[in-house]
Structure 1
């Protein structure tokens, strides 16, 4: 259903009936990935080094509860005993992935009832990627298999304390590229999003639905803007969480107002600098100095709450201007008009001047 033709009061129904992945597909995928998880654990000898699988963590939109109907992404991060450092991870992945690929191809012959399997070209080094698709081809999931160094370690008694500062100082001293080791922090990323209320996740789905409509519009095709130059959808997830934290913080709110707020922030993208201190902060001198440099990057800056090297805003790379132009032109659509015909207004907090805080920072010039 087209978002712009949906009345503001019907947005909850739109999310419930059209944006959540189908229950049948979700159940089938859960069973398939469970079998793959078991196969990976049982075949612990994945190469000449014979490493054991410490644990396997699910990530991506699928694990964060922000998967959109039609297509979404997922990660299976395989923490291996043979990786004792980021260096081990970099040098040992090729051999390990070769052994995993053999297992994956065998499993992929019969992934589960109602699913088809297809290996994909990896979008990044050190990753195996495949697609699971429903029999009717209306739903699909791109899954990344990633062997990784278990830098966080397994939590004791289910308790997940804040990472020690040396976790991040060692990351910074590894000489990594921005976000290169983001998968090592998948659990923190997943916990950060999953701790939010269901209504906020529904707003995230609505924002991603708007984003998917922008990606498919004729204006993008006629202007020649490649989809690959748009910001990653995870950046919009974080922006939505920030908007809710600064402007609402309630379990019940109007989706139209929440969406209006996020799009207003997208319009102001050149003024945005957002980060969270939930997992890292300025207490450690090395990490603190790095953060200060990160916050001086070209706007927008949106730092991943799990990995401070990963700037999802990346103002020098992504075409936020394309999203901002669409946001500016859509506020007279039905989805932003209340029953009385009055235009929906954004939450006050996120679109006014802010000062540094523990949840995040937004600078307005």
Structure 2
């Protein structure tokens, strides 16, 4: 039955059966997001020779909000870094940070259960690193964006000891 033919009382059932991904896929999305978050927190900058540390990662996107659809799930990961003291630092160093994350993701993908496809960025000073992760067990993928950020409110720095 098509959406326009669905009576109002059956809309929730229609959404569940036709639009929402199954629990197995959602579980794999959560696993993929957690793998990338752990990677960003613990492995990403450890070999770079810099003192850059991830203070906090905030998850967003449809997967974090519970609004993921079949064949259309995304995750936004806002990464608060200790190397940004202000917005000028963020703007000046963002490309270098994203290049480091890209290089480490390429190394990391060989060890994980996911294939990583990095989207080339056409901007001279990109604001985001976009990539997709495809599970080797399912045929669906999740789009991810990593956004390095300056913590303007200072709330992440309070928790810096948790990620160190």
Distance 1:151 1:73 in 2: 25
Which structure has the highest helix share of the two?
1
Between the aligned partners of 2:81 and 2:47, the Cα distance in structure 1 is: 9
Conserved? CA contact 1:60–1:74, under 8 Å? yes
What TM-score do you get using the length of structure 1 for normalisation?
0.38
Residues 28-177 of structure 1: pairs in structure 2 closer than 5 A: 28-43=28-43, 44-45=45-46, 47=48, 49-112=50-113, 115-122=114-121, 125-134=126-135, 135-137=137-139, 139-154=140-155
- In the superposition, the TM-score normalised over structure 2's length comes to 0.80
Contiguous gaps of at least 5 residues in structure 1: 158-365
Q: With CA pairs under 8 Å and 6+ residues apart, which has the higher RCO, 1 or 2?
A: 2
Relative to structure 1, the CA distance from residue 136 to residue 37 in structure 2 (aligned partners, 3 Å threshold; closer, same or farther) is closer
Q: Flag the 1:127–1:47 CA change in 2: closer, same or farther, 3 A.
A: farther
1:20 equivalent in alignment to 2:20:
yes
Alpha-carbon displacement from aligned partner over 1:13-69 (angstroms, at most 9, x marks no partner): 012222222211111121122122222212344745421111111111211221112
**2:62 aligns to what SS in structure 1?**
helix
Greater Cα shift, 12-21 or 122-131: 122-131
Higher strand share: 2
**Per-residue Cα deviation, 1:66-122 (whole angstroms, up to 9, x for no partner):** 11121122111110011111111010011111111121112223443xx43322234
Size of the aligned set, in residue pairs, is 154
Aligned with 2:155: secondary structure? coil
Task: Answer with 1 or 2: which has the greater Rg.
Answer: 1
Structural RMSD (CA): 2.4
